Chains A and B, each alone.
Chain A
Amino acid sequence: MKFNTKFCLKNCAKNYLIAAVAVAIVAAGAATGCKKHHSDPFPASGAVAGWQKTSESRTFAAKDLWQYIDGDAEQYISAGVVTTSTSDYKYQNTLEATVDVYTMGDAAGARKILETGTSDAKPIQLGDAGVTYAQSVIFRKGPYLVRIVAYESTPDAQQALLALAHGVEAKL
């Protein structure tokens, strides 16, 4: 049997190419996160009308959460926080806000934190459950607990925060 070197090389190259593509697809899936909880929860600038993302996102493991919120970390750790991500936003140059996304071990942990809210909170339909105050929105969705806080009190603050909260919720 005559060995067709040219044919073999062509076939081998084709097989290698297929294998390489398959590996790349798997690797890309792992890197970007096939599961939603690996995705970036922060809307990009302009993704929610009027809101600009003004800082890089930062993420803290549970053991390092004190670096971000010091003594506040304890209540999240006891509720099973795994990671916390945060980013700053600005609304039409009038309102500054911070979005914190706490990824808890399970939905019960997120519920535990949300339930520590105060009686003057106004319930809202967002995620699995949520509440709003004049300058903040807090909601949970699965294992996520999201807290969005504005640093100023403006007439349209609550509405703007709700819009941003919906933007975050859609990315979880």
Chain B
Amino acid sequence: MSSRRDFLKTAATGAVLLGSQSKLGLASRLDQHTATGKSKVVVARDPALHGQNGQLDEKRVLALLDRAIATYTGHARPVDAWRHIIGQAKVIGLKTNGLGGKGISSHAALVLAIAERLQQAGIKPGNIVVWDRNARDLEACGLTISTDPNRVRCYGSDVAGFEDQPVAFGSAVNVKLAKILTRECDMVIGVPILKDHSGSGVTFAMKNMYGVLERPSDLHGGGCNPGVADLNCIPAVRHKVRFTVGDAITAVYDGGPGFHPERLWQANTLIVGEDRVALDQIAWQMIERRRAQAGLPTLEAAGRPPRYIATAADADHRLGVNDPKRINLVEI
């Protein structure tokens, strides 16, 4: 339980973060979301995403992204679809995941495709910030570090630093958040990569936010439960991270979160949506199906079910829904 002081601190931070136009945009989105009664998740596949030589086809990545976003938003033109997603946001962060190293990190082709569409939707290049923990993680994605304000920026918290003032929610105490999240972006699009995780079972939309922490290791206890859910309830994370373009182009179904080539599979898939809990629920099931194909036990049997997903959906967190009956899964 967080103390009253922590609660006030958190609430104060949230109030500042929710200021200006983004508050109205977010509120209206949440209302729409509630009205439908179901959380929409689009799973888009292209079996030819990797060519015969095993190389990723960048044009097909862009085309797959367009299909996924068009299906999600109902807008055929990418520019309309992205305007619908970003709303009034001016500075948009793309939070990648490069922790696993070169072989199992968010793909640069996908990140750059999103950045291209954001620019076409009216976001200035310098108002797009691709970020992660540090330069090494970003370079693992195949990205190039840049702080040039006239180009899409790309740098980590090793450059921008962390807040001195800690915030808290539940078990996530003394949390120091990345300044890129708290000060630079008014909206973040998560671009996680789908991985098995030796502690939490699965790492995808919500677990990707460990990259905003100065010390993510502090929240790894108990299979990251309730750490993942608590972290995502911290206002800056909860309210700014409003969309996810999940990278399941290549994924690891066992032995993660590090790079284990013998356990990779080219799923050639994107998983997109707003409801981070629903996204993780769908991603978890993808990993389970692939594990079954490989003759591996379920994550439950392996002793690491991603319990944080249900926790994130519970009454104390209300981050989204994990009940399959309440998820509108659209596969294309």
Chain A interfacial positions (CB closer than 8 Å to B): 66, 69-75, 96, 98, 118, 120-121, 133-136, 149-151, 153
Contacts and interface: CB of A to CB of B under 8 A. Distances in A.
Contacts of A135: 261-262
Contacts of B156: none
Q: Which of B220, B255, B260, B262 lies at the interface centre, i.e. has the most chain A CB atoms within 10 A of its CB?
A: B262
A118 B198 contact: no
Contacts of B198: 71-72, 74-75
28 contacts: A69-B257, A69-B258, A70-B99, A70-B217, A71-B197, A71-B199, A71-B203, A71-B220, A71-B224, A71-B257, A72-B256, A72-B257, A73-B220, A74-B198, A74-B199, A75-B198, A98-B101, A98-B259, A118-B255, A133-B261, A133-B262, A134-B262, A136-B261, A136-B262, A149-B103, A150-B261, A151-B261, A153-B261
B25 interface: no
Contacts, number: 59
B93 to A, nearest CB: 20
B82 interface: no
**Dominant SS at the A interface?**
mixed
Contact of A118 (B54, B200, B258, B262): B262
Nearest to B224: A71
Nearest to A65: B217
B284 to A, nearest CB: 16
Question: Which A-B residue pairs are the 8 nearest by beta carbons?
Answer: A66-B217, A135-B261, A133-B262, A71-B199, A72-B258, A151-B103, A151-B102, A70-B99
B74 interface: no
Nearest to B207: A71
B266 to A, nearest CB: 12
Interface in B253-287: 254-263
Nearest to A135: B261
A71 B220 CA distance: 7
A160 to B, nearest CB: 14
Nearest to B195: A71
Contacts of B258: 69, 72
B302 to A, nearest CB: 11
How many B residues touch the partner, as a band? Answer: 20 to 34
A153 B200 CA distance: 29
Nearest to A69: B258
Given A71-B200, A98-B101, A134 B261 contact: yes
Interface string B192-231: 0000011110010000001000001100100010000000
A105 B78 CA distance: 55
A82 to B, nearest CB: 17
Contacts of B199: 71, 74
A153 B54 contact: yes
B261 A149 contact: yes
Given A96-B102, A136-B260, A151-B261, 17 more contacts: A69-B99, A69-B258, A71-B198, A71-B200, A73-B220, A75-B198, A98-B101, A118-B262, A133-B261, A134-B262, A135-B261, A136-B261, A149-B261, A151-B101, A151-B102, A151-B103, A153-B54
Contacts of B216: 66, 70
Interface in B177-203: 197-200, 203
B257 A120 contact: no
Nearest to A116: B255
Interface string B93-120: 0000001011100000000000000000
